[in-house]
Structure 1
Amino acid sequence: MLKRGGTIGILGAGQLGRMMAMSAAQLGYRCIAYAPEGDNVAGQASDDLFANKWDDTAALAAFAAQCDVVTWEFENVPVATAGAMPEERIFPHPRALETAQDRLNEKRFVEGLGGRPAAYARVDSRADLEAAVDRLGAPGILKTRRDGYDGKGQWRIGSDREAQGLHLPEMPLIYEGFVEFEAEFSVILVRGRDGEIRFWDSTRNTHEDGILATSSLPAGEPIEAQVGEARELARQVADALKYVGVLTLEFFATREGPIFNEMAPRVHNSGHWTIEGAVTSQFENHIRAVAGLPLGDTATVARAVSMTNIIGKDIERAQQHLKAPDTHLHDYGKAKVREGRKMGHVTRLER
């Protein structure tokens, strides 16, 4: 158990790290963030910030020497960087990054546990793509196997002709068949060092231009009917990885049951509602888990909850949301405003 006044290192310095650091401070811990140049908004709530490259071995060693435990705030931290931390002091284990960073490996891993991802095919060439479209049909989605998020690194293919005319990037790809779904939802859990697992309620998630727009409770049908099966898969994933911290799995609710979409080994945008809407937020429980503390209650505290992302220039009008009752604004403090960038979120509760 990490003692009061201990130091938690966070690899990455975006808004997720910022909210982690705020929860850590509440529990009596110091935080140090590590990330290359950028807004590095986690530094606003941290005691120190290492603005160094991911492969700067001297800086990583200095960072690790100051930390009692280390975690990360996004899934694209290089595995080698996480692996440079002392194995007994980094949570979750870097194997979670290694599994989640490659979409092909991730789907195979989940299939091995009995999960059902969308039909997929490995694509390393134009011939592979044409064969994949022929076998799985169109429409479908061509994705980079690594580094894609918020709709980046994805191309919708509507027909054989579109596949033939697409300029392929020179990187490993994966083609996924189109899933006819009724709703999208996420399963967010926290697993402690002792293996205890707790789940938050699953929200109904809606996306716009590949970016999460809203997460809301109650999720309604058919999500509520499929959460149990999805949770069981998420539990198996967490146990197989010997995971410590908050883990997220995204699903499509379909007529055939839940279809696995992707995994995020971290706190998640669709769980931001838990700050005001749950007894213990995803951020506090992540800190509790990596620090070896008892996990907090994950129960929802309101009759209905909605979380809405604030994107780009909408942040300039964000304070207007506060006119509504039981509404909570989170401005991430990012200096650079640009289209498609998550600048904050607002949560509304109905008691």
Structure 2
Amino acid sequence: MENLELNPSSLATICNHIDKSHSQLSQFLSKQVCWNQQDRRCILECLAQVLLEKDYTLLIARHLRPLVLDLLERNAERVKRNGRINHDLHERLCVALSKLLWISPDAQAFAARYFSDAPPVFQRLFFTSEEASTVQYGPRRMKLRDLMAATLRFLKSDCGKFEKLWDWSPCVSQLLMSDVLVRGYTAHCLALVTRMTDNQKNIFLSKLLTSDEILAFEEAQQMTIEKALVLANQGSSFGRKEKKHIQGQLISEDLSQNVVAICGIVLPVRGQKQTEKVNERDMVLVDSTCLNLKRLALAVASQKPVLLEGPIGCGKTALVEFMATVTGHTESSKILKVQLGDQTDSKVRNLIRNKNMIENENDNNYLKI
């Protein structure tokens, strides 16, 4: 059972900044005894809801960086609950997710998975008047300017992916909106999608916005983006088995079923989360093993390729197999093992490389090590 640090001082800072509608967090913070499992799960659900508040998204990410993926997965479950899209929550999740793209590799990988079967950020533009009347929005409904700003952030993060993923034709009509920010964000989006040069974009914008409107739009975009957020959870217990947990600590069972904590690093799970018994049987988590696992988990969370070096029998393959097992990559076909040496023919090497390229194009669920 792995413990993750949830610093009460971080919760106190969050409680001091958010409005009274989320006072439930303060109630848990005031408890003088250890949180039970229900308390911890309620805290995570409350934090997941606060994450969707556009004014508090970066606040949550700053203080609870290791839990961002878990909170995103919880919200994705709420959006797609009962097999139907909750459009209000979907829009709020899109806006929050777009703000996390530049500071969290978890958010980038999550976005790729989420939008594989979710509508675009600006999905309300596709609604007919009859369909729009059936959609129920809450008191925190996103404005169209928020949605188009989020759309622009997604495009800037990976234009090639999102320009092909979404139908952009409904956005053209937004160029006639009276809201300067809606027109500005939409124009920048279409400029990226159509691959305009800087000169072409400037001409395009000058036809849609006056010089004063362009200045107002640029001023509205000025914001401070937080950087240098660490992936590691410095207060984690490095995966040691702990029968007791104190206030301020979460255990693996508290997390969403779509994520798993490996030495303080939260990673997405493909399929069913593995049980603790499987973990204990497969690997003994001594300090040196936990340190290597943490480094490997950091690289996987950062979407970076990894090269493991070491003598024969030191545990390189076991480390990868353990990581694959706990993250749900249990199919033997997903792990390719090849003994390479001086006798390996160059044609075999090329065959392996080409096979990996084809499989990676056809299946995005590979664990990339």
Fold match (TM-score > 0.5): no
Structure-2-length-normalised TM-score: 0.24
* Larger Rg belongs to: 2
Going by fraction, where is helix more abundant, 1 or 2? 2
Structure-1-length-normalised TM-score: 0.25
Going by fraction, where is strand more abundant, 1 or 2? 1
